[in-house]
Amino acid sequence: MKAAVERAYPEAKPGAIPVWAGILLRFAFEMRVGDLVIAPYKPDGTLNFGRVVGEYEFHPEVEEHYHRRRVEWIRTGVPRGIFPQKALYEIGSALTLFRVKNNVAAFLTYLDQPSGTVEEASRPVVVDEEAEHLDEWAADEPSAGKLHQYTEDFVRKTLLEELTHEEFEYFTADLLRALGYQARVAPYVADGGVDVVAHKDPLGLEPPLLKVQCKHTAAVQSRPDVQRLIGTLSVGELGLFVTMGSYSRDAVDLERVRQDLRLLTGQDVVEMTLRHYKDLPQKWRSRMPLREVYVVDRESEGR
C-alpha cells in the first residue's frame, strides 16, 4: 500500500506516505459493514453518527472522493457538549480516519438511549466508569489543532453546563459589549421572548435596535422557534438568535431569505468567546480560565 501511494504521489513528503497508506488501508480493508462511524462537522461543532452499510467502492470518474463507502446516518447534529471531555479529546485526532479505542462506552451509551425529544437527546452522557475503558486517553502526541479543539470543547461545556439560563443571558450581553455594542438584559422570564436588547449608540435611540433571544441548550432549534423571535421585530429592528446548539435546515433557510435575522450556533458563540476573550469581564474569564501559549504547528499527517 505504501509503495502504491508513493507511486501515485511522488512529490509527497516522506512522512506523509505511511500515514496516507494507513488511512486507505483502514478505509478499504479494515472497516466492515455494520461498523459505527463518528463524523465531526466543524461548521457547527456537532457530531454525526452512522453505520457502514456498503463495501468499499472506487470511483475514478469523479473529480473528488474517489474512495467511498455507503453510510446510513443514525443521528446527526449531535452537540459535542453532552460527551465527556476525554471522549471529545480522543476523537480530535489529526488523522482523517482512525479507530476510537479508549472512550467507546461514552458514545455507545449515547446511541443506546432513545432519541426522544431534542431536549432529551441533548442531555449530558453519563458513563458507567466500570464499563469505560481506562487505558491512557491522551497517549498520542498533541497537535495545535487538537489543543485548539480541546479548548473549544472546554469553553462549550463551561457555557452549557456551568451557567444557569439567566447567567447565559448576561454572558450574551457581555459578549455583545465586547463586540462594541451597548446591551441590556431584559427581566428574566422563561417564556421565549426577547432576552437582550443591544444597540450601537449610547442611549439606544438610534436605529437599528438589535433584539436577542437566548436559548441555553444544546438542542436543535426549529423554524417555529426562530419565527417567534421574528414576530417581535418592528420596522427597522434586527433579530439575533443565540443558542449553544444548532438549527434545523428550515430554520437556516429562513435566515437566508431575511436580511434582518442572524442565527448564532454554539460553535459561533465559542469562536466569538475565544476571539474576544480579553474583552470579557473578569467574572466570565474566571469561570473559564485561559491563557495564550505557543504550540507546535505542523501537519501531523504530513510529517
- Highest average pLDDT, of 9-13, 29-33, 62-66, 76-80, comes from 29-33
Q: Is residue 82 part of a domain?
A: yes
Statement: residue 134 has pLDDT above 90: no
Q: Does the pLDDT at position 83 exceed 70?
A: yes
Which whole number is the average pLDDT over 268-284?
Answer: 96
In a domain, 109, yes or no: yes
Please tell me whether residues 76 and 172 are part of one structural domain.
no
pLDDT of residue 129: 47
- Whether 174 is covered by a domain: the verdict is yes
63 and 98 assigned to the same domain: yes
The dihedral over CA atoms of 145, 147, 151, 154, expressed in degrees to the nearest 10, equals 120
Q: Is residue 202 domain-resident?
A: yes
Would you say residue 119 has pLDDT above 90? Answer: no
Report field, pTM of the whole predicted structure over 0.85: no
Q: Residues 6 or more apart from 128 whose CB is under 8 A from it?
A: 105, 109
Whole-angstrom Cα distance, residue 26 to residue 31?
6
For the stretch 145-204, pLDDT in tens is: 778 888 999 999 999 999 999 999 999 999 999 999 999 998 876 666 799 999 988 876
Same domain, 169 and 246: yes
- Does residue 5 lie within any of the structural domains? no
Strand 46-52 and strand 36-41: the pairing is antiparallel
Instruction: Give a yes or no: residue 14 inside a domain.
Output: no
CA distance 154 to 176: 21
Give the per-residue pLDDT at 120.
46
Dihedral sign, CA of 180, 181, 187, 189?
negative
**Domain limits at 235?**
161-285
Confidence (pLDDT) at 118: 46
* Chain segment 38-80, per-residue pLDDT in tens: 998 888 788 999 999 999 999 989 888 889 999 999 998 888 8
Count of domains in the chain? Answer: 2
Residue 279 sits in a domain whose CATH number is 3.40.1350.10
